[in-house]
Amino acid sequence: MSLMLQSLVALTLLTCGAVAAVPVVVARPEPVASEGDPAAAMAGESLRLVESADGRWFLNGDPIGKVALADLLRQQGSTQPVRYLPSAALGVGEVARSLAWLRRSGAAGAVLAIPPGQP
């Protein structure tokens, strides 16, 4: 094959691939920007808390310090349900202590949220 024919085949394949990818790219939903104030962004929703194995906390996917989390829980009181998802690397005792801490901090209705299919 000559260099000209190889270039033409490569260009044709590249163009076909790009045209085939257009519907996939166009169908993707636009990302939604999160609000700066977590309490305002979650009005009426349940709070989803994740605790990592190294003790970091995430509130609805955003990192939050333990002090800020305690303040937020005190402000919210029991107005919003709290779903607590611990890391699988945490022991049963650590999970129990964290759940008790959440309830003492103002999330009286905090429940352990284990995804379907997990033990």
pTM of the predicted model, to two decimals?
0.57
Name the pairing type of β-strands 82-86 and 111-112.
parallel
pLDDT recorded at residue 42: 45
Residues (pLDDT < 50) of the chain are: 33-43
Encode pLDDT of 28-60 as tens digits: 665 554 444 444 444 457 788 889 988 899 988
pLDDT recorded at residue 117: 65
Contact indicator for 80, 42 with CB cutoff of 8 Å: yes
Q: Which CATH architecture has domain 42-112?
A: 2-Layer Sandwich (3.30)
Torsion of CA 7, 9, 15, 16, to 10 degrees: -170
At residue 20, what are phi and psi to the nearest 5 degrees?
Answer: -70, -30
Name the pairing type of β-strands 57-59 and 62-64.
antiparallel
pLDDT recorded at residue 30: 58
Compute the distance between CA of residue 58 and CA of residue 71 in angstroms, rounded to an integer: 14
Compute the distance between CA of residue 45 and CA of residue 75 in angstroms, rounded to an integer: 15
Contact indicator for 98, 86 with CB cutoff of 8 Å: yes
